[in-house]
């Protein structure tokens, strides 16, 4: 399994989400049908900071062997984050019938499944990958 691609894509996705939620929290709330107030704006900006933190973690760990027991905290943290957010967004999309929430739920769920596969399968060392090519 090529975890380098997963880590890079998730880092880029989270960096974009982090920048958008940090600098344009009003637009994020309005897009999802929520009237912005000071408390919500602060929470969205704090979420943006968390996403930027996860993005830098994933970017710097993209070259690390991940899977099984290797870099388990990184895989576990990402799996838990993407799975929980995916479920929450799916529930909100069903209740509120908002397509943006459903689209976001899909993206988060894809990352959750991918990190789940990485988490529960042993990694393929670089030397083994190059022998098959």
What is the number of H-type helices and E-type strands within the chain? Answer: 6, 0
Please tell me the predicted confidence (pLDDT) of residue 34: 81
From residue 75, give the alpha-carbon distance in Å to each of 39, 52, 82, 104, 123: 31, 17, 11, 20, 11
Please tell me the predicted confidence (pLDDT) of residue 128: 59
Comparing CA positions, the residue from 28, 24, 16, 10 lying closest to residue 100 is: 28
* Whole-structure pTM value: 0.86
Comparing CA positions, the residue from 25, 17, 16 lying closest to residue 45 is: 25
Please tell me the predicted confidence (pLDDT) of residue 51: 97
Please tell me the predicted confidence (pLDDT) of residue 133: 47
- Local mean pLDDT, 10-residue blocks, the chain (133 residues): 89 97 93 87 96 97 88 94 97 88 94 94 70 51
């Amino acid at each position: 399994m090529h975890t380098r691609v997963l880590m890079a894509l998730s880092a880029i996705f989270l960096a974009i989400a982090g920048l958008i939620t940090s600098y344009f929290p009003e637009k994020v709330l309005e897009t999802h049908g929520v009237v912005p107030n000071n408390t919500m704006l602060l929470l969205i900006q704090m979420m943006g900071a968390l996403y930027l933190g996860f993005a830098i973690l994933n970017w710097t760990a993209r070259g690390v062997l991940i899977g099984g027991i290797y870099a388990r905290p990184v895989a576990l943290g990402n799996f838990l984050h993407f799975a929980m957010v995916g479920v929450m967004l799916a529930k909100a999309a069903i209740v509120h019938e908002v397509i943006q929430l459903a689209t976001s739920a899909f993206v988060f769920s894809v990352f959750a499944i991918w990190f789940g596969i990485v988490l529960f399968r042993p990694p393929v060392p670089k030397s083994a990958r190059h022998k098959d090519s």
